[in-house]
Structure 1
Amino acid sequence: MRDIQLVLERWGGWAASDNSGIDYSPIAAGFKGLLPQTGKNRLSCTDDDALVIEGCMARLKNKKPYEHSLLVAHYFYDVSKRKIAKAKKKDEKLIRIEIQMAEGFIDGCLAMLDVRLDMDEEVSA
């Protein structure tokens, strides 16, 4: 079984890198002024893995744009759940639940596709 949080963390590192070709608006989802300007190195995944995850993220965006925005804020922009909760004026516990639901969607999508990711050996429990 995959550790979906580690999978999404690696996807976020890939998407945030300059050579990914993926562009997310820094003011999307009401996070203007909240996003850190860091240049730290992050774990990343292969292009093949990232494109599969991007497909799942696109499905999530079509079905639940709000949950998609939470995953982008947390995994792409590396914004803490606490800061997201403060920006959304919601209880942190509720934000954690909403992010877990979005993570579950991505995990289920990957399971339905029945694909083997290059990072599977490193993120399996």
Structure 2
Amino acid sequence: MRNIKRLLEMWGGWAATEQSGVSYSHIAAGFRGLITSAPSNRPICSDNDGMILDSCISRLKIDHPEEHALLVAHYHYRISLRSIARRRHCADGTIRKDLQTAEGFVEGVLSALDIELECENN
């Protein structure tokens, strides 16, 4: 069983590094002022794992852009779920359910690819 939250945390750390080659807007849509300064001591995954995870997350954007934005805001920019809920004018539980949907989607894509990531062995 994969620890998808841990994998996404590591992906977020990897995507936040300048060496990742992945360019996300420095201001997440609608979250100006909530993003803190440069990340410190975040766990990161290898470039190979980061690219695999990023491709799985990108697939989410096609059919579920809201969940994709939520996943990027939370794991890449480290915006709390409570802050996201406040910004979207909804309950924390709604955001948690949407995040679980996004996490499940990414986990399903990883399972369908039948790939073992390097960072899962650590």
TM-score normalised by L of structure 2: 0.95
Shift of 1:109: 0.4
Aligned partner of 1:72 in structure 2 is 72
String of CA shifts for 1:70-92, please: whole Å, max 9, x gaps. 00000000111111111111100
Query: Which sections of structure 2, spanning at least 5 residues, go unmatched?
Result: none
Q: Distance in 2 between matches of 1:50 and 1:63?
A: 21
Helix, strand or coil for the counterpart of 1:51?
helix
Quick one: distance in 2 between partners of 1:82 and 1:29?
16
Task: Decide whether the 8 Å contact of 2:16 with 2:39 is kept in 1.
Answer: no
Cross-structure match for 1:14: 14
In structure 1, what is the equivalent of residue 40 of structure 2? 40
Secondary structure of the 2:20 match is: coil
Gaps of 5+ in 1: none
Structure-to-structure mapping, 1:1-125, within 5 angstroms: 1-122=1-122
How far apart, in 2, do the equivalents of 1:39 and 1:61 lie? 24
Aligned length: 122
The residue matched to 1:10 in structure 2 has which SS? helix
Q: Pairwise CA RMSD of aligned residues?
A: 1.0
Q: Say which SS state the counterpart of residue 35 (structure 2) adopts.
A: coil
Shift of 1:28: 3.3
Contact kept? 2:67, 2:98, Cα under 8 Å: yes
Q: CA deviation at 1:113?
A: 0.3
State how far apart, in whole Å, the 1-side matches of 2:39 and 2:109 are: 31
Output the TM-score relative to the length of structure 1. 0.93
Alpha carbons 1:26, 1:32 under 8 Å: kept: no
